[in-house]
Amino acid sequence: MSPAYEPVIGLEVHCQLQTASKMFSACPVGIGAPPNTLVDPYTLGLPGTLPVPNAQAVRHGIALALACGCELHPQSRFARKHYFYPDLPKGYQITQSDHPYATGGSLEVPGFTDAHGQPKRVPLTRIHFEEDAGKNTHVLGEDHSLVDYNRAGAPLLEIVSEPALGSPDEAAAYLRELRTLVRTLGISQANMEEGTLRCDANVSLRPRGQATLGTRCEIKNLNSFRFLAQAIAAEIRRQLDLLERGEAVVMATLSYDPERDRTRIMRTKEAAADYRYLPEPDLPPLSIPAAWVEEIRSSLPPLPAARRARYAQQGIAADDAVLLAAEPELGDYLDRMLDAGAPGPKAANWVTGELLAKLRSDGRDPSASPVSPEALAELVGMVERDEVSGRSAKAIFATLYTEADPSQSPRAIAERDGHRQLSDDAAIEAVVREVLEGSPGQVQQYRAGKTKLRGYFVGQVMKRTQGRANPRVLNELLDRLLDPDAPEG
Ligand code: ADP
Ligand code: MG
């Protein structure tokens, strides 16, 4: 990035809500159904049909607004946004323009900090409800296009950020966090490939340090995290090039061409569509009852930012904390381990290491783990207390996982399979003395300075204890008993 200019980015994100039916009709919604099978008279814009808001969609919207600390407006309004295109049978889309149901609030961007070194929070402008359009497919080389109305009328949230993101990577991290959040709330699949999460990016440059914003351009329809970051970077290059040549950036809508890694102007402001917004005459203002808000607030799951804060407090590395908080089921698993008293960093290592490896190779969700969080917490505690070695712990874990018998505790397996570490100082000391007495020659050489022989003594003790001697205790004993000044025997 040029030292003279800094980029400013704001995102408009569309998120399809997980509901049984569409935003304004009882027509079912779903991904992957055969084209035009999820339609009804309202979806098709047939005369005499009227919209009825979907209560589940509204509840989902409330949950997100609460999670972001937005101001929830008890009354919001719907409007018609008109445009004419085959994917929109009604000729307008119902959205919330001047009176969104939620404004303000913010979203934390993990891994990024603000000017004060605090976790970066990006302020939100607004969140509002909309219905989706259908989908046109232009068939290459044919004289016709195809249209599928399954998606028409699907419930959407649009989440608009303030222009407060400072780099392509930060924008991608923001979008990832939003995906994590809506998945944690269980309100959306938020899958960019399937289009249940979509993003437009607004990009401008300004002289570094200047408070006023530069002219922005909007890149439409970014459908992967990688393309989002790449497109923003390409657009920054394009604008920088203009500015450095002394030319002005003209407000425009662009698309991103991944093959050429370039943004391309689709239309400039002069050609911007006039959507002729009108208040939606068929819908009263949307009322959000306070009782709903309180009920939803009290049933919110642990949120990713709160989880990361808890994990940081427990000494868990930031990368692990992000990973664990990004997968609600993993977070739930870890939380139960912490609740059972497992030390944070060790618990996190086990979850992101041993456990996740097994679960992934089996294609299992954490909630279906054959080893319960409480059992794993017990095992971690046994390692902490030197009851079993780290190596034995892995063997015990593998046994617990394959035997999948919830009645077997790690302690019982350790006992049964002879994994219990000898930490009893007296017992180990007896073995060490035996070994030293049996090898007077080596002891003499060691004391004369051949310290490499230490490995020999360790090996002998481990052999006699089947590897179960606690290495720390063993080393302390060797230090003491091999000390040349120590009394013999
Ligand atoms: P529209 O709906 O016409 O695109 P909005 O005012 O709702 O306009 O802004 C949309 C997005 O553009 C917001 O995410 C906002 O943060 C972002 N934005 C506005 N001005 C700028 C700017 N100068 N540079 C970068 N992003 C901007
Ligand atoms: Mg826009």
Closest ligand 1 atom to the C-alpha of 213? 23
- Give the residue, by CA position, lying nearest to ligand 1 atom 13: 10
pLDDT of residue 31: 87
Confidence of residue 482 (pLDDT cuts 50, 70, 90): confident
pLDDT of residue 462: 85
Q: Do 150 and 88 reside in the same domain of the chain?
A: yes
Q: Do 87 and 173 reside in the same domain of the chain?
A: yes
Alpha-carbon distance of 481 to 475, in angstroms, equals 10
Residue 181 lies in a domain: yes
Alpha-carbon distance of 334 to 348, in angstroms, equals 7
Q: Do 412 and 454 reside in the same domain of the chain?
A: no
Residue 235 lies in a domain: no
In tens, the pLDDT along 152-188 reads: 999 999 999 999 999 999 999 999 999 999 999 999 9
- Give the residue, by CA position, lying nearest to ligand 1 atom 19: 163
Q: Which two tokens mark 205? A: 């440059």
pLDDT of residue 270: 67
Q: Do 340 and 274 reside in the same domain of the chain?
A: no
Residue found under tokens 């002289």: 207
Q: Among 57-66, 275-284, 472-481, whose mean pLDDT is lowest?
A: 472-481
Alpha-carbon distance of 138 to 18, in angstroms, equals 28
More confident residue, 274 or 263: 263
**Count of helices and strands (H, E) across the chain:** 16, 17
| Count of other CB atoms within 10 angstroms of residue 405 | 12
Summarize the chain as % helix, strand, coil (round to 5). Answer: 40, 20, 40
pLDDT of residue 489: 45
Q: Among 69-73, 236-240, 329-333, 457-461, whose mean pLDDT is lowest?
A: 457-461
In tens, the pLDDT along 421-452 reads: 776 778 888 888 989 999 899 898 998 888 88
* Ligand showing the shortest atom-to-Cα distance for residue 10: 1
Burial string for 219-229 (b: 16+ CB within 10 Å, else e) reads beebbbbebbb
Q: Do 160 and 44 reside in the same domain of the chain?
A: yes
* Furthest C-alpha separation in the chain: 104
- Identify the CATH number of the domain in which residue 466 sits: 1.10.10.410
Confidence of residue 469 (pLDDT cuts 50, 70, 90): confident
Alpha-carbon distance of 452 to 456, in angstroms, equals 8
Pair 436, 457: CB distance under 8 Å: yes
In tens, the pLDDT along 5-26 reads: 999 999 999 999 999 999 999 9
pLDDT of residue 1: 60
- Give the residue, by CA position, lying nearest to ligand 1 atom 4: 218
Closest ligand 1 atom to the C-alpha of 215? 23
Q: Alpha-carbon dihedral of residues 312, 314, 319, 325, nearest 10 degrees?
A: -80
Confidence of residue 486 (pLDDT cuts 50, 70, 90): low
Burial string for 113-135 (b: 16+ CB within 10 Å, else e) reads eeeeeebbbbebbbbbbbbbbbe
Residue 92 lies in a domain: yes
Alpha-carbon distance of 60 to 178, in angstroms, equals 14
- Which of 5, 6, 11, 12 is the best mutation target for the ligand 1 pocket, counting ligand atoms within 8 Å of the beta carbon and taking the most? 12
The alpha carbon of 220 and the centre of ligand 2 are apart by a number of angstroms equal to: 8
- Looking at residue 69, the DSSP 8-state letter turns out to be T
In a 3-state reduction of DSSP, which class is residue 356?
Answer: helix
Closest ligand 1 atom to the C-alpha of 163? 16
Alpha-carbon distance of 50 to 238, in angstroms, equals 46
Q: How many domains does the chain have?
A: 3
H helices present in 161-280, as ranges? 168-185, 225-244
pLDDT of residue 272: 64
pLDDT of residue 393: 93
Domain-ending residue, one of 257, 291, 325:
291
Res. 273: pLDDT tops 80: no
In a 3-state reduction of DSSP, which class is residue 21?
Answer: strand
The alpha carbon of 10 and the centre of ligand 2 are apart by a number of angstroms equal to: 9
Domain-ending residue, one of 388, 416, 444:
416
The alpha carbon of 127 and the centre of ligand 1 are apart by a number of angstroms equal to: 14
CB within 6 Å of ligand 1 — which residues?
A: 8-12, 125, 160-163, 202-204, 213-214, 216, 218
Question: What's the chain's average pLDDT?
Answer: 93
**What is the pLDDT averaged over residues 483-489?**
62
Q: Do 468 and 389 reside in the same domain of the chain?
A: no
In tens, the pLDDT along 194-223 reads: 999 999 999 999 999 999 999 999 999 999
Residue 407 lies in a domain: yes
Residue 4 lies in a domain: no
Confidence of residue 266 (pLDDT cuts 50, 70, 90): very high
In tens, the pLDDT along 395-428 reads: 999 999 999 998 889 999 988 888 777 767 788 8
**What is the pLDDT averaged over residues 473-479?**
87
Q: Do 55 and 150 reside in the same domain of the chain?
A: yes
Closest ligand 1 atom to the C-alpha of 204? 24
The alpha carbon of 96 and the centre of ligand 2 are apart by a number of angstroms equal to: 14
Q: Which residues contact 311 (CB under 8 A, 6 or more apart)?
A: 320, 321, 324, 325, 334, 344, 348
Q: Do 19 and 147 reside in the same domain of the chain?
A: yes
Domain-ending residue, one of 367, 396, 416:
416
Residue 193 lies in a domain: yes
Burial string for 433-454 (b: 16+ CB within 10 Å, else e) reads eebbeebeebbeebeeeeeebe
**What is the pLDDT averaged over residues 254-273?**
88
56: Cα separation from own chain's centroid: 23
The alpha carbon of 202 and the centre of ligand 2 are apart by a number of angstroms equal to: 7
- Looking at residue 24, the DSSP 8-state letter turns out to be S
Residues in the chain, how many?
489
Between helix 373-384 and helix 390-403 the angle, nearest 10°, is 160
Pair 276, 68: CB distance under 8 Å: no
In a 3-state reduction of DSSP, which class is residue 325?
Answer: helix
Alpha-carbon distance of 359 to 356, in angstroms, equals 5
The alpha carbon of 177 and the centre of ligand 2 are apart by a number of angstroms equal to: 20
**What is the pLDDT averaged over residues 36-41?**
97
Q: Do 449 and 306 reside in the same domain of the chain?
A: no
Q: pTM of the predicted model, to two decimals?
A: 0.86
| Distance linking the first and last C-alpha atoms of the chain | 72
- Give the residue, by CA position, lying nearest to ligand 1 atom 22: 216
Confidence of residue 230 (pLDDT cuts 50, 70, 90): very high
Alpha-carbon distance of 274 to 276, in angstroms, equals 6
Q: Do 440 and 461 reside in the same domain of the chain?
A: yes
Q: Do 196 and 326 reside in the same domain of the chain?
A: no
Residue 342 lies in a domain: yes
Residue 408 lies in a domain: yes
Q: Do 276 and 379 reside in the same domain of the chain?
A: no
Strand positions, DSSP E, 251-344: 252-257, 262-268, 278-279, 286-287
Q: Which two tokens mark 343? A: 């030390």
Q: Which domain holds residue 455?
A: 425-481
